[in-house]
């Protein structure tokens, strides 16, 4: 067996892509190693979402090159979202041996075989159809409890700040029957949770091919897919992300309400609280619409956990726009948020049309204001849970206090409790006795 060392950057979809890559390369005789020093092939599965993500990868490429200096036979490959954007730069100066974009992973074995000194391999062709639906991912062992399943690839939104449509191509939905099969296999292998992944799960729509004898004429939307996966077993939890505020339907919310194993959590990226910014970002909703959807979520799925993403300092953002974001955070009260400063991405609509004119120190100050407000609101939400009884799926020992167990409640809040009886994959009932800003301190009941 040859040895593959792989580092993964970016989102959950990239983690799942690395699992697909592992599966494809394992058939070509590679097994995974966690030691770079014993690898025959070193891969970085990369992210382009913000400049600092790319900078980090360039730092790692320098480290890989040192390894290659020591062992010239080792191959270095850059795969994923940076591949397309940086193919020229990466291949210039023979920094790496191969570059493969997110839709080229099936070709990795032949690409690896074709590399010879001075002949780097490159394939960054994007596809309209590739979903890797027949490939059983070789799960990276995160906790053995929760498995990622990609249900679609690419993105058809055109958010003006975002590089993803360029790096991952057009949106396509995966055959639901292969998704259900993969979820069943994960459950049979001991996983207790599946996390259905897509850039915009609400636009999932699969139509049976016309020549399909079994499912001719059938179409499946996201609510129907959720229903099918939830039906596998009440013991299998279902999560999903990411939801797009203008596309999430009442049908999805009612499906969540009807199945207690569909977790009560929606990741609901708002990006800004200002209508002017939302329009400039080419988001397809305004503040009022967003708040109405939040109200609808809370009406149909009571106790639903809500998390979000936000960008501070987008092009032309005024103090008033920024205050609109703060007031929206105050009004909604998210449990948690991923908060970023705007980072201009070459080639995007915003880079072409708008000036990146908010000074860095202003971006940082606004981001810090959002973070401070969110920390306060998040902590309030956690404290509100004191006294509640919750069902938690055990993930394993707590990182900070290994004699305790940890796991998530349905609403995605992290729980920690003293326990010497249960193990990863068990469901336990706990009562919340105290809370830190991002953890519920519990006891078994
Ligand atoms: N700059 C900063 N943050 C960005 N995001 C996407 N593109 C950019 C960018 N150019 C954020 C959005 C998105 C999350 C995954 O990353 O908030 O929801
Ligand atoms: Fe994921 Fe976007 Fe980063 Fe690609 S660019 S890895 S899709 S976050």
Q: How far is the CA of 50 from the centre of ligand 1 (A)?
A: 7
pLDDT(442) > 90: yes
Least confident of 2-11, 37-46, 47-56, 79-88: 79-88
Q: Where does the pLDDT of residue 141 fall: very low under 50, low under 70, confident under 90, or very high at 90 and above?
A: confident
Which of these, 304, 299, 296, 366, lies nearest to 333 by C-alpha position? 304
**Number of C-beta neighbours around residue 430 at 10 A:** 23
- pLDDT bin (cut points 50, 70, 90) of residue 314 is very high
Ligand nearest to the CA of 241: 1
List residues bridging with 31 in a β-sheet. Answer: 3
Return the percentage of the chain with pLDDT > 70, whole number. 99
For residue 92, name the pLDDT band (cuts at 50, 70, 90). Answer: low
Average pLDDT in the 72-97 region?
83
**Ligand 2 atom 7, closest CA:** 164
Nearest CA to ligand 1 atom 18: 309
The mean per-residue pLDDT over the stretch 368-383 comes to 98
What ligand has the least distance to the C-alpha of 338? 1
Cα 10 to middle of ligand 2, angstroms: 5
Q: Which two tokens stand for residue 225?
A: 């897919």
Task: Give the pLDDT of residue 94.
Answer: 62
Determine the distance separating the centroid of ligand 1 and the alpha carbon of 340, expressed in angstroms. 7
88 has a pLDDT exceeding 80? no
pTM of the model: 0.95
pLDDT value of position 96: 87
Whether the predicted pLDDT of 80 surpasses 80: yes
In this prediction, residues 148-166 reach a mean pLDDT of 95
Residue listed under structure tokens 């890797």: 132
Please name the residues in contact with 267: beta carbons below 8 A apart, sequence gap of 6 or more: 241, 242, 243, 307, 308, 309
Report the atom number in ligand 1 closest to the C-alpha of 310. Answer: 17
Atom of ligand 1 nearest to the CA of 338: 17
Rg of the chain in Å (alpha carbons):
22
Q: What is the pLDDT of residue 90?
A: 65
pLDDT at 441: 98
- From the CA of 9, which ligand is nearest? 2
User: Is the pLDDT assigned to residue 93 strictly greater than 70?
Assistant: no
Question: What are the tens digits of pLDDT across the range 179-224?
Answer: 999 999 999 999 999 999 999 999 999 999 888 888 888 999 999 9
Handedness of CA 9, 14, 16, 20 (dihedral sign): negative
Tell which atom from ligand 1 comes closest to the C-alpha of 162: 7
Q: Above 70 in pLDDT, residue 140?
A: yes
Average pLDDT, the chain: 95
Write down the residue that tokens 């397809």 correspond to: 284
Query: How far apart are the CA of 364 and the centre of ligand 1, in A?
Result: 15
For ligand 2, residues with CB inside 6 Å are 10-11, 13-14, 47-49, 81, 163-164, 167-168
pLDDT at 266 over 90: yes
Substitution site in 6, 8, 11 for ligand 2 pocket (most atoms within 8 Å of beta carbon): 11
Task: Determine if residue 190 is left, alpha or beta; phi over 0 gives left, psi from -120 to 50 gives alpha, anything else beta.
Answer: left
Please give the distance, rounded to the nearest whole angstrom, from the Cα atom of residue 419 to the centre of ligand 2.
Answer: 37
The per-residue pLDDT for 91 is 64
- Rounded to a whole number of angstroms, the distance between the first and last alpha carbons of the chain is 49
Ligand lying closest to the C-alpha of residue 47? 2
Per-residue pLDDT averaged across 329-355, rounded?
Answer: 97
Ligand 1: residues with CB < 6 A are: 49-50, 161-162, 269, 271, 309, 311, 340, 342-343, 345
Sequence-distant (≥ 6) Cβ neighbours of residue 51 within 8 angstroms: 343, 344, 345
Residue 399: C-alpha distances to residues 305, 338, 342, 403 (Å):
23, 21, 32, 9
Rounded to 5°, angle at Cα 396 from 23 and 388: 125
Q: 237 — phi, psi (to 5°)?
A: -75, 145
List, for residues 377-436, the tens digit of each pLDDT value.
999 999 999 999 999 999 999 999 999 999 999 999 999 999 999 999 999 999 999 999
Q: Is the pLDDT of residue 118 over 90?
A: no
For the ranges 58-62, 229-233, 327-331, the lowest mean pLDDT is seen at 58-62
Q: How many whole angstroms separate alpha carbon 332 and alpha carbon 315?
A: 24
- Ligand closest to CA 51: 1
């Amino acid at each position: 067996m040859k040895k593959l060392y792989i580092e993964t950057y970016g989102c959950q979809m990239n983690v799942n892509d690395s699992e697909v890559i592992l599966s494809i390369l394992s058939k070509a005789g590679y097994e995974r190693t966690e030691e770079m020093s014993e690898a025959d092939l070193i891969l970085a599965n990369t992210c382009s979402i913000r400049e600092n993500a790319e900078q980090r990868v360039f730092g790692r490429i320098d480290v890989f090159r040192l390894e290659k200096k020591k062992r010239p036979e080792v191959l270095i490959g850059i795969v994923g979202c940076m591949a397309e954007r940086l193919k020229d730069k990466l291949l210039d100066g023979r920094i790496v041996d191969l570059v493969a974009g997110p839709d080229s992973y099936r070709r990795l074995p032949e690409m690896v075989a074709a590399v010879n000194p001075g002949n780097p391999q490159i394939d960054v062709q994007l596809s309209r159809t590739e979903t890797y639906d027949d490939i059983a991912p070789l799960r990276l062992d995160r906790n053995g409890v929760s498995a990622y399943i990609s249900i679609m690839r690419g993105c058809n939104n055109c958010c003006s700040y975002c590089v993803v449509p360029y790096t991952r191509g057009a949106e396509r939905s995966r055959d639901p029957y292969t998704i259900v099969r993969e979820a069943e296999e994960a459950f049979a292998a001991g996983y207790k949770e599946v996390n259905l992944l897509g850039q915009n799960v609400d636009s999932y729509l699969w139509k049976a091919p016309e020549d399909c004898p079994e499912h001719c004429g059938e179409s499946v939307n996201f609510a129907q897919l959720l229903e099918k996966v939830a039906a596998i077993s009440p013991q299998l939890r279902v999560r999903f992300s990411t939801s797009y505020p203008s596309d999430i339907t009442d049908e999805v919310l009612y499906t969540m309400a009807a199945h207690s194993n569909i977790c009560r959590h929606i990741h609901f990226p708002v990006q800004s609280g200002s209508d002017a910014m939302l329009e400039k970002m080419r988001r397809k909703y305004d503040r009022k619409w967003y708040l109405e959807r939040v109200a609808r979520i809370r009406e149909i799925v009571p106790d639903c956990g809500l998390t979000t993403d936000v960008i501070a300092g987008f092009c032309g953002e005024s103090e008033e726009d920024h205050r609109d974001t703060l007031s929206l955070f105050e009004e909604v009260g998210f449990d948690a948020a991923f908060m970023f400063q705007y980072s201009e991405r070459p080639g995007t609509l915003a880079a072409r049309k708008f000036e990146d004119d908010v000074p860095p120190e202003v971006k940082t100050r606004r981001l810090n204001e959002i973070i401070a407000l969110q920390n306060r609101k998040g902590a309030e939400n956690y404290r509100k849970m004191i006294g509640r009884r919750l069902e938690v799926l055990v993930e394993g020992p707590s990182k900070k206090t290994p004699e305790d167990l940890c796991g998530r409640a349905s609403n995605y809040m992290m729980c920690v409790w003293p326990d010497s009886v249960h193990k990863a994959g068990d469901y336990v009932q706990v009562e919340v006795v105290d809370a830190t800003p991002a953890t519920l301190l519990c006891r078994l009941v």
